[in-house]
A and B are shown apart, each in its own frame.
Chain A
Amino acid sequence: MIMKHELKLYCDTTRLADLRKFLNNILQNTSLTDIEQHQVTLAVDEVCANLIIHSHGCNAREFINVEVEKENGILKIEIVDRGEGFNIIEYKEPEISHVKATKRKGGLGIILVKRIMDKIEFEKIGTQNTCRLFKNLKSK
């Protein structure tokens, strides 16, 4: 069975709480443990926060589409926006020690995403950017 859920997320960081609520509602009906659900929500929050701040300059008139789909034991989260885009695959995340030494407050989010998710894809077609996050669901 395929289940699809969609959210139009406006580019305002205060909307991230709505995104988390949206994800929590969907994820609680999966076989993911409580801790895994929390982490997947965090990974999606990180990708969207990054886009809201860096690609859209917190312009609340712009938006990101988030689509969650469960199919064949895999949870797929598709994050689509228009604009410059952020290629998460090519981005070279900093070393944790470097983050500490330079007192930079960014860079940790993408490390979290890459450590939490099982597979990540990025695709740019024209001005449309798609980031896909995958998590394997255990069979019950």
Chain B
Amino acid sequence: MLKIETKHDSNFTTLHLIGEVDASNSVELDEHISGLVDSGVQKILVDGSALEYISSAGLGVFMSYIEDFQEKNISLVIFGLNERVYQVFRILGLDQLIQIKSDKEEALRV
């Protein structure tokens, strides 16, 4: 089960991922990010503190936007990942391609 909550602040938007992202629901994550890109948001924070699991389907969604974000000058920062989920990003070296911070304060400083 995956639940995604979107919260708009004055200069950033937060996507709160709750539950598990896998091949059955990664399209939901994709649609949320795509919607934010289309709406012209410049800074996206992904709150991963309640993310229990992510498989390659979800990781691939983040990967697929890296170049778009660079072209459109959008920053995306993930924060709050638990150690198990963070290690999955690390296995693929995605911690080098995507900004990952420990908490919201650090994420906002990016």
Q: Quick check: B20 and A17 within 8 Å, CB to CB?
A: yes
For A109, list chain B residues within 8 Å (CB): 55-57
Main SS of the interface on chain B?
helix
Interface range on chain B (Cβ under 8 Å from partner): 20 to 34
List residues 79-95 of chain B with CB under 8 A from any CB of chain A. Answer: 83-84, 87-88, 91-94
Contact in complex: B88, A103 (CB < 8 Å) = no
Chain B residues in 8 Å Cβ range of A52: 23
- State whether the Cβ of A45 lies closer than 8 Å to any Cβ in chain B: yes
When C-beta atoms are compared, the residue in chain B nearest to A99 turns out to be B63
Main secondary structure on A side of the interface with B:
helix
Does residue B60 face the partner (Cβ distance < 8 Å to A)?
yes
13 examples of A-B residue contacts, CB within 8 angstroms: A17-B20, A39-B87, A39-B88, A39-B91, A45-B55, A96-B92, A99-B60, A103-B63, A103-B64, A104-B60, A105-B26, A105-B63, A115-B91
Binding site for A on B (CB under 8 A): 1, 20, 22-24, 26, 30, 53, 55-57, 59-61, 63-68, 83-84, 87-88, 91-94, 97
With A17-B1, A105-B60 already in contact, 5 other A-B pairs whose C-beta atoms are closer than 8 Å: A16-B24, A35-B87, A38-B88, A106-B56, A108-B56
